[in-house]
Amino acid sequence: MRRTRIDPGQLAAAYDVDESELAVLKQWAPHATEVIVRAGVPSIRPSPFQPKGRPSARAVAAVAASLGAVDGPAALIDEGGARELGRLDAEGRALAELVADIAEHGVETPLEVRRVGDGFELLSGHRRLAAANLAGLAEVPVVDRGALPDHAAAAIVYRRNLLRKDFTAWQEAVSFSAIQRNRREAGLPDSVRAVARALGSSHGRAGDLLSIARAFSPTLLAELGRGDAELAEEALARLTFRTLREVATLPTGEERLRAAREVTGLGEEAPVRAARAVCEQVTRRGGGFTLTVRTAPERMSVDEARKTAALLEEALARVRSRLPAG
């Protein structure tokens, strides 16, 4: 067990807060020890302060489907699972590799949690928790931070995410907004300056991030994604800080929506997520062609199997036509 001593003077310097805020911070600082325990995976719930899309629900669902098509996590990243692995996007492949590693070695870096009711709430390690679930682990090691108040939990989640190189400007804006809201509910100063000081940010950047979060209300997000707010947030997460700030400073919601549709590519037409055909034939230059079968025959519906068989038979007939008679 590792012992960590907290010097109040160092704590004040690190957070740059006044004495009244320091008194609150000292209530949740780990006073003497860092306690690592084993916790049941079902007892750990995700943090409400974790920015959406870390990991994305789509990546988790895609990896789960791929695991169902092969013989366990190890098979997915072996040569035999190359086809299933190739169907995943970059986030899905990275998650699949993490699942395989955790299935073999377990979770080597403990998750960080706080106590909520009769269970735990995650502070850091959302990808590891998702991977542990997919790998079928019953328990994982966790660092138990005790019963932290919401404003402290939100700040910890933000600081842990800030260390990640892929933490986007939109996710940062959402985090700042959540922290400001929870400071207000906790009776702490919630001005832009107070939020900036608590998170070690400049006053100007904190103000811009909070303005961005306010500019994209839940109603606007729903309109941007045509009813799918998660799709809208995924699109906003691909934008730069500068672009988000430019859209956020437009005077009306209608102008912000129009500009957001333009820069995200979520135009006036509703986005269509058309499922790719199970079997597809692509004609190549010179008369060649490629046949792609995306689903194992055992998992095809009757209609999918019939269409696949028709394409294969048509291609085979063309090849047989070149064979000599008899």
* Inside any domain, residue 162: no
What's residue 270's pLDDT?
A: 44
- Which neighbouring-strand residues pair with 25? none
Domain-ending residue, one of 120, 148, 176: 148
According to the model, what pLDDT value does residue 32 have?
43
Residue 20 has pLDDT above 50, yes or no: no
Mean pLDDT of the chain: 79
Cα–Cα distance, 189 to 182 (Å, whole number): 10
Please give the average per-residue pLDDT across 6-30, as a whole number. Answer: 46
Q: Bigger pLDDT: 212 or 186?
A: 212
AA letter at 84:
E
DSSP-based three-state secondary structure for 291: strand
Write down the pLDDT at residue 320.
Answer: 79
pTM of the model: 0.56
Query: Is the residue at 244 inside a domain?
Result: no
Say how far apart CA 96 and CA 130 lie, in whole Å: 10
What percent of the chain is modeled with pLDDT above 90? 21
> What average pLDDT does range 23-30 have in this prediction?
45
Determine the pLDDT at residue 317: 79
Please tell me the total count of domains within the chain.
2
User: Could you tell me the CATH number of the domain that includes residue 80?
Assistant: 3.90.1530.30
> For 246-293, what is each residue's pLDDT tens digit?
999 999 999 999 999 999 888 755 444 445 677 777 776 666 777 777
Residue 48 lies in a domain: yes
Does residue 6 surpass a pLDDT of 80?
Answer: no
- Residue 113 confidence class, pLDDT cut points 50, 70, 90: very high
Domain region containing 89: 32-148
Residue 123 has pLDDT above 80, yes or no: yes
- For residue 58, the Cα-to-chain-centroid distance in whole angstroms is 9
67 pLDDT band (50/70/90 cuts)? Answer: confident
Partners of 2 in the β-ladder: 34
Q: Is residue 198 part of a domain?
A: no
Share of the chain above pLDDT 70, in %: 81
Mean pLDDT in residue range 111-122: 90
pLDDT for position 303: 76
Q: What is the DSSP string of 101-149?
A: HHHHH---S-EEEEEETTEEEEEE-HHHHHHHHHHT-SEEEEEE--S--
What one-character-per-residue DSSP string does 61-96 give?
A: HHHHHHHHTTTSHHHHHSGGGHHHHHTS-HHHHHHH
| 196 in a structural domain | no
Residue 134 in any domain: the answer is: yes
Tell me whether residue 324 is in a domain: no
Is residue 205 assigned to a domain?
A: no
Q: Which has the higher per-residue pLDDT, 120 or 198?
A: 120
Whether 119 has a pLDDT exceeding 80, the answer reads: yes
Give the model confidence (pLDDT) of 125-170 as tens digits: 888 999 999 999 999 999 998 888 888 888 788 777 776 666 788 8
Say if residues 85 and 91 touch (Cβ distance below 8 Å). Answer: no
Structure token digits, residue 39: 């916790």
- The helix (run of H) or strand (run of E) holding residue 277 is none
Cα Rg for the chain, rounded, in angstroms? 25
Q: Does pLDDT of 231 surpass 50? A: yes
